[in-house]
Amino acid sequence: MSAAKDYEVADISLADWGRMEIEIAETEMPGLMATRDEYGPVQPLRGARIAGSLHMTIQTAVLIET
């Protein structure tokens, strides 16, 4: 028995393009990248549940990965 998916990917062939777009966006967000570098290793929000309502953009993807 397989587990049900809670997501759907419309076109997985676009994954490489999406990753490239995220990497470009990271270069355009120096403040967030500095925060990621400073706090990423210690993970001060580990275990916290964070909720929000955001439009899905490339920049939102960078924020979510942070």
Query: Is residue 60, in this structure, part of any structural domain at all?
Result: yes
Query: Which structural domain, as residue segments, surrounds residue 54?
Result: 14-65
Query: Is residue 1, in this structure, part of any structural domain at all?
Result: no
For range 16-37, the mean pLDDT:
97
Q: Which two tokens stand for residue 36?
A: 């990621």
Query: Is residue 25, in this structure, part of any structural domain at all?
Result: yes
Q: Give the C-alpha separation, 36 to 39, whole Å.
A: 5
Burial of 61 (0-12, 13-18, 19+ CB in 10 A): middle
**Is residue 7 scored above 90 in pLDDT?**
no
Burial of 36 (0-12, 13-18, 19+ CB in 10 A): middle
Query: Is residue 4, in this structure, part of any structural domain at all?
Result: no
Summary mean pLDDT of the chain:
92
**Is residue 14 scored above 80 in pLDDT?**
yes
For range 43-52, the mean pLDDT:
92
> Considering its fold, how many domains does the chain have in total?
1
Q: Specify the pLDDT at position 1.
A: 56
Query: Is residue 6, in this structure, part of any structural domain at all?
Result: no
Q: Specify the pLDDT at position 35.
A: 96
Place of tokens 């899905």: 56
Query: Is residue 30, in this structure, part of any structural domain at all?
Result: yes
The amino acid sitting at 65 is E
